[in-house]
Chain A
Amino acid sequence: MKYQVDEKGFYGDFGGAYIPEMLYPNVEELRQNYIQISESESFQKEFKSLLSDYVGRPTPLYFAERLSKKYNTKIYLKREDLCHTGAHKVNNTIGQILMAQRLGKNRIIAETGAGQHGVATATVCALMGIECIIYMGTLDIQRQAPNVARMKMLGAKVRAAESGSKTLKDATNEAIRDWINNPVDTHYIIGSVVGPHPYPDMVARFQSVISAETQAQLLKKENRDYPDHIIACVGGGSNAAGLYYHFLENPRVNIIAVEAAGKGIDSGKSAATSALGKEGIIHGSKTLLMQTPDGQITEPYSISAGLDYPGVGPMHAHLFRSQRAEFISIPDKEAMDWGLTLSQMEGIIPAIETAHAFAVLDVRKFSREEVIVFNCSGRGDKDLETYIDHFKL
């Protein structure tokens, strides 16, 4: 268990719960109960049944024949883009809404950047008939109008975060403030493997269904239950944590994490946290984050709204520092080109976040016998406007 969380909530040097005392009762209640609840038979039964009948799991592990031929290796896509709501995000929100119900909470809050996690949260709240408030930066509300409309249709209230840079990190701050102000009846559904312990571990566990299915599917297709390489994009890191989870302790599996280089690592407009970040505290977690020398958190940039988080989950910070994972960063342009390539070679229009992962095929060599699994974490519907602008479609 070298790469999983320890009993104090740390991944190596990273993680923990650096929270103001006002949040202690909420976070402590969750910490004391999350494993027992999520491993209980009744929880597992309901979780699995919703994942299968509502989300549409298991998602296929698809052998990408044309891509494999072109790159002379064996490429599989874990099709999280086929999940209900269009991305892996819903695996976590299903888990957390069931957790909230069992903790007796009747009000849900969440943060969202591009709106994917907001939509996934609003969806499960509608499913369960629970009040839902989504915090979203004012700038993101302007940039992501269709997702704002989706959340509203699903019955959620969307509240604008006006503070700071008016984007994801500020929406997260606002959600945390709401939780401080409503400590008894509210559960905060964090959307990624970030935040204070136990969130990174809890979210990773809910997303771990991705690697559990991959193991079983590979066994059928390749006669072994592990690949040689697993590749996923990393913003906060939840889809990556899900794909890596059951392979973390298997040294035969090479882990590749793909960050957004934006306009280039040294351009001042980037979200490559492993290259640009320093150890610090963000949203209650000790991890790598982008900041000024004075310790003020800076605003990252990527063309993909799901990758522009100034930090990275503590599990990933540990994978980076311990060199368990290879970190590669991909600029906007290459990611956009791969959005087109995947569309035209496999008939799959990926989210721009997801497209970053595939660009690894151009920067790193793989051999013919090697088996690679990409997390095809989300579909590109939400990004059509960006694709239209970029390719003048």
Chain B
Amino acid sequence: MELTGAEIFVRSLQDEGVDIIFGYPGGAVLHIYDALYRQDKIQHILTRHEQGATHAADGYARSTGRPGVVIVTSGPGATNAVTGIATAYMDSIPLVVFTGQVPTHLIGNDAFQEADNIGITRPCVKHNFLVKDVRDLAETIKKAFYVATTGRPGPVVVDIPKDITAEKTEFHYPDKVSMRSYNPVHVGHAGQIKRAIKLMLDARRPMIYTGGGVILGNAAGSLTSLAQLLDYPVTNTLMGLGAYPATDRQFVGMLGMHGTYEANMAMHHCDVLIAIGARFDDRVTGNIEKFCPNAKIVHVDIDPSSISKNVKVDVPIVGCVDNVLKAMVKLIKGSKQRPDEAAIKEWWRQIEDWRSKDCLKYDHDSELIKPQHVLESLYKVTNGDAFVTSDVGQHQMWAAQFYKFDKPRRWINSGGLGTMGFGLPAAMGVQLAYPDATVVCVTGEGSIQMCIQELSTCKQYALPLKIVNLNNGCLGMVRQWQEFFYQGRYAMSYMESLPDFVKLAESYGHVGMQIDKPGDVESALKEAMAIKDQLVFMDFITDPAENVYPMIPAGGGQNEMILI
């Protein structure tokens, strides 16, 4: 039987196993919306802005490991989605974004709500497709999911002109698809793995540095086995938190610009660096000239272009991190050689010495609420077991420093692009994937206002998020840099007016709370967490002068941290 393009779209998603899509209707996708209306297998979540739809799908993808699916209309629908697509691209998150397009015969005519979606999204997608024939639609959708979820994952855009969704053809959804131009590597090179192991076992001051790739590659278990087999210290990047249990002794905290003193000092002084699924981002390395000056570097990554991009490495291994880590564990177990016990013991003594600086300390006796205190209390009240999303800025760094993630896919933030406005819609995606879980969005009064309209979506779908708004009345990270590097000229980092967040939350149908005394922080969090069926917006009035420490100033090496 022949189906319309719109029906093929819906059937393809069903066959792909998609259970939820995020989107916003419009002229070019009306046939598709009509087909969605006439089925009940796929739930459609109507956000209040296309950026919200992409971030929500992104949160769903990060927390589940399954691809997030988005549908938006042509023109402004697609351009509004671009920030969300770029966010997913920078963090290698699998998304499939369907954009409506004007009918084929109008493409290039500056038609109503026309934009060059393929051209606009090209630099921020893993790949994109324009469907020019309804007979190609099902296979193109299959390819989109295949490309988005394999290799180094990433967002894929499929642009569908309106006439294609009305035309009819026979429907067949392929079971699998192969592309001669796209063949991701799975297994690491055996010889390289052996070379790496030799280096690792000979190390006297080893360091394991892992990134988002370990989480994306579902390799947290293998990483933990490897690290514990060797008793080597582990640091995670911002994107990698949760890949190694943060409460374990071997974890030295996050590294980088706002990482711990012990993590950065250990990086600087190590003699063998084992980098796994991490990409030597500038926020991690600090000044590249001063980065790990004495280390031989092993780098495991699925993307060859990540290797030796910023830092030249000694033993590159291209492959799925989980496969490579499992191979390493097996080979080390089978090897007679063991790490030099005395050297490793001395190395740990040195690290413990750095750790004793207690670089994350803050003033516990302040009259004002310290944001760090809110995060510590949040960790305690949620037993360290919540999903935590964040926006971008100081609150993001404090969440990363003070919430100890023991499991992967629990910490959801925009690391690469640093997108303010990400936290709330991402939390919606997480809550929809895990309806009974505690999902907390840690945010600030600046970031939250960038996608605040999604509070309305939360009401429509009864999403009981817990929003922790660290309200210091200013764009904190901007203010911090202005204090440190612009002699306190606080250019445009204070908003002259802010809404009453309690009333705002209430007007959307949620529960609002304001907390302004340090003594009330924990009880307020407990009270909020006890409300299981409603969204609670907690507006914490925090110390506006608080800064994120420690900090590597721009141009500094990892051993040049500013401590409080």
Partners in one complex: no
B interface residues (Cβ-Cβ under 8 A, vs A): none
**Chain A residues near B (Cβ < 8 Å):** none
